[in-house]
A and B are shown apart, each in its own frame.
Chain A
Amino acid sequence: MSATAELNRRLPGGRYIGGVLQRIGLDGRGLVIAIPTIWLLLFFLIPFLVVAKISLSEAAIARPPYLPIWEWSDGFLNINLNFGNYLFLLDDPLYVAAYIESVRIAAISTVVTLLIGYPMAYLIARSSPDRRNILLMLVVLPFWTSFLLRVYAWIGFLKANGIINNFLISLGILNEPLVMLQTDFAVYVGIVYTYLPFMILPLYANLVKLDEAYLEASADLGARPATTFFTITLPLSANGIIAGCMLVFIPAVGEFVIPALLGGPDTLMIGRVLWDEFFSNRDWPIASAVAIVMLFVLVIPIMLLRKVQAVDEGAS
């Protein structure tokens, strides 16, 4: 029984409408599928095509600030594709440097996040079930409070007369304050801090499934804890590591708020460059080209993440 049949029964003209709907393949089931599909097509996928289109147009002082790619004149369709924006990106060392910087900063932060997050995830996975839930909640709780305000909190910690410097000076360890705010260091701290839960959760989900019999067998056979860890635990948690790393790395590459608030004027990250092109320079075509190139940079990490997630789904 479908909604179409229901429609036929209820409305006098319904039989006709139902028939038409059915002929184009839209019965109740199709309608249900269509709602989320159409919404996401319209507000997620098609916007990317619009970005791609505008990245090929020329900037202009107009509303909206770009020239159309195609127009009719004298009965002919004129198509003006302009690859100049991409050539400009490749030609200007600023943009190339910003891409490299973003990937470098995101990669270093990801490694640090892994080094802090792995022991925490391991500890939680090896705790008793009651304590496990409390610890997991403590990991997720900061995620629920404002991201912007948590980044803001670090300004108070890192600035010249901030909490860390005041503390170290009062202990007599430092004579004058360390410069931490508005450096790459502050950006690393900000990224590691905000994305730590994204690292811990997939690692935990992976480590909690690890069968302890393997670890016992290894210990019984005389392997030292470190050997057991590197030959058994670490390889078995590879999928969790990849998933966690990609969940940190991908958004970190395009991060805007953290470099804007904690980074210095010379911390070039591509999310910030895109923001400035759009809001300060009002150059929409260049901003679009920056976004498209960023997507290409992220294609491999995104595919890696999907692959690991598909493996996990197949296993469970």
Chain B
Amino acid sequence: MAELDTSGGGKKGGKIRSKKASTRIDLTAMVDLAFLLITFFIMTTTLAKPKAMDMFMPDKSKPEVQLPVPETRTMTLWLGSNSKIEWFVGKPGGSRPTIDNFGKDGIRKTLVEQNKKIEETHQGPDNFMIVLVKPSDKSTYKDFVNIIDEINIAGIKSYGVVDITPGEVAQLKKDGNY
């Protein structure tokens, strides 16, 4: 099947009998081409779809809706240069900040541990940890995305991004992370 009959007219001289030509064509090459194009279009469409991460910022236009936050439930993270993090729980200046880095055994473990500890030591329905992220001017955008990602992984219910203060920058500088 599937071939065009290309042989000649047949017997010469004899009765001219028109040969019944097959109407089927070889579709193999056509199918090959079609699948090649399909593959091309699949590759260019689905891979090009951008993925995104949701990001919420606190509303600056309404300062009156800010809730009082107990300091014992607050964890503050400073992002320094070279992907270094300094964090502490509680009041600023209360305890010396711990220097940490990104990764499975770094900040992710810390976030989960601190979250558990705060949930255990606090009573009531609102006993979750609140994380304040303060990126310094020397931190990169990648660090920032990473830390938001780690917060999402650790399942922290409440977090905010706040501007860093000069006093905090001075502390980062002292620790050599700025």
Q: Specify whether A and B are partners.
A: no
